[in-house]
């Protein structure tokens, strides 16, 4: 078995492990609201979320060219001369996984998506510095891809917050003559639909990020000549993220569903619906966004409709700090991994 094939297999395995951890880490995003409102038990919620994570693969299997997010991650963030290097891809994944596990242990809902692109960029910049000199570090990234992504780092959670706020106002106006008990009897049923929609949007955006990495690995290994996502890549990425979601990250569920603000079924419905819409829009545009950022913004939007003090802003500030650290921290870990691999193997 050739070294190139071994590397490709190793990258695909590590990518699927990352995808599993992504589902495990981001299970809170999909189930926190529906668990917090007690519409479903934790076990029922993760099964429901995992099912809709997997169903999101269907449109991509029917039209592989619709995997726009995968193409952005695989070839639109890192310059081609670096993105097609197996060691860059592998160490980028290791950096992302390390940061995901650290923040999961701390119970912080950080972004697996940004950990992945941060790790990928960090490894690429380390390669640029070692092979062409420190002055070429920025040549490793594609500015256009980063500008759009960084723009949506800010816009996506704000969009989720604004949409959730508007939905809550609409709900209160539509049910202004109903009692809270009557409202919740309706929204306990409707939240099953909104939770499914949010989980679908999560699978539609997040699984594609792993597809982008796997496809890049196939190109680096010489098994593909152009960036075309294969059906087995779509299937395996969605299967891995669904299995991860079924496992659940209960530390983060507690932070998102109970600590940030108190939720009722009507609030859970509005948060999930707003979050789904704020994710599906950039997914259509081919932009990787953080489902964590979006749902956190949406939950804060729901809480603030009552009064600003209903949201625990100190906790929200800690979450924002974790978000800001994600890109540089995962990039640094990945860069260190690449340096170690470079000096141990003399390759890369």
Kindly report the backbone phi and psi dihedral angles of residue 56, in degrees, each rounded to the nearest multiple of 5, phi listed first: -60, -15
Q: How far apart are CA 116 and CA 339, in angstroms?
A: 18
Instruction: Give residue 131's pLDDT band: very low, low, confident or very high (50, 70, 90).
Output: confident
Q: Which two tokens stand for residue 135?
A: 């002055």
The residue-averaged pLDDT of 215-243 equals 92
What per-residue confidence (pLDDT) applies to 149?
87
Q: Average pLDDT, whole number, for the chain?
A: 83
What per-residue confidence (pLDDT) applies to 257?
44
The answer on pLDDT for 69 being more than 70 is yes
Give pTM, 2 decimals. Answer: 0.84
DSSP assignments along 12-78, one per residue: HHHHHHHHHHHHHHHHHHHHHHHHHTTSS-HHHHHHHHHHHHHHTHHHHHH-GGG-HHHHHHHHSSB
The answer on pLDDT for 311 being more than 80 is no
The answer on pLDDT for 99 being more than 90 is no
Please tell me which of 37-41, 77-81, 262-266, 270-274 the model is most confident about, judged by mean pLDDT. Answer: 270-274
Distances (CA, A) of 135 to 79, 107, 140, 331: 15, 37, 11, 17
**Count of structural domains, the chain:** 1
Which residue range(s) make up the domain with 119? Answer: 3-345
Q: Which two tokens stand for residue 130?
A: 């070692």
Q: Which two tokens stand for residue 126?
A: 């380390």
What per-residue confidence (pLDDT) applies to 81?
82
């Amino acid at each position: 078995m050739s070294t190139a094939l071994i590397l490709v297999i190793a990258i695909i395995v590590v990518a699927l492990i990352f995808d599993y951890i992504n589902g495990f880490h981001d299970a809170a995003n999909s189930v926190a609201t529906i668990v917090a409102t007690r519409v479903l038990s934790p076990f029922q919620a993760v099964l429901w979320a995992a099912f809709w994570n997997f169903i999101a693969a269907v449109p991509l299997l029917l039209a592989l060219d619709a995997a726009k997010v995968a193409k952005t991650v695989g070839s639109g963030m890192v310059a081609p001369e670096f993105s097609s290097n197996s060691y860059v891809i592998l160490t980028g994944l290791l950096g992302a996984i390390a940061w995901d596990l650290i923040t999961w242990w701390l119970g912080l809902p950080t972004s697996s998506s940004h950990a992945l692109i941060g790790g990928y960029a960090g490894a690429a910049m380390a390669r640029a510095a070692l092979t062409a000199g420190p002055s070429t570090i920025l040549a490793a990234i594609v500015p256009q891809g980063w500008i759009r992504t960084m723009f949506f780092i800010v816009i996506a959670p704000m969009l989720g917050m604004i949409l959730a706020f508007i939905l809550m106002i609409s709900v209160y106006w539509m049910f202004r003559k109903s009692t809270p008990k009557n409202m919740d009897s309706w929204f306990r049923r409707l939240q099953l639909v909104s939770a499914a929609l949010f989980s679908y949007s999560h699978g539609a955006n997040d699984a594609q990020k792993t597809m982008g990495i796997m496809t890049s690995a196939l190109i680096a290994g010489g098994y593909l000549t152009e960036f075309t996502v294969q059906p087995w890549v779509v299937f395996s990425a969605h299967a891995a993220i669904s299995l991860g979601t079924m496992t659940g990250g209960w530390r983060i569920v507690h932070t998102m569903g109970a600590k940030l603000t108190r939720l009722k079924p009507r609030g859970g419905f509005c948060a999930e619906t707003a979050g789904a819409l704020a994710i599906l829009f950039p997914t259509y545009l081919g932009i990787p966004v953080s489902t964590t950022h979006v749902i956190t913004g949406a939950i804060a939007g729901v809480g603030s409709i009552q009064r600003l003090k209903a949201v625990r802003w100190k906790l929200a500030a800690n979450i924002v700090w974790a978000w800001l650290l994600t890109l540089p921290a995962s990039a640094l870990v990945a860069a260190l991994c690449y340096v170690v691999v470079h000096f141990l193997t003399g390759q890369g």
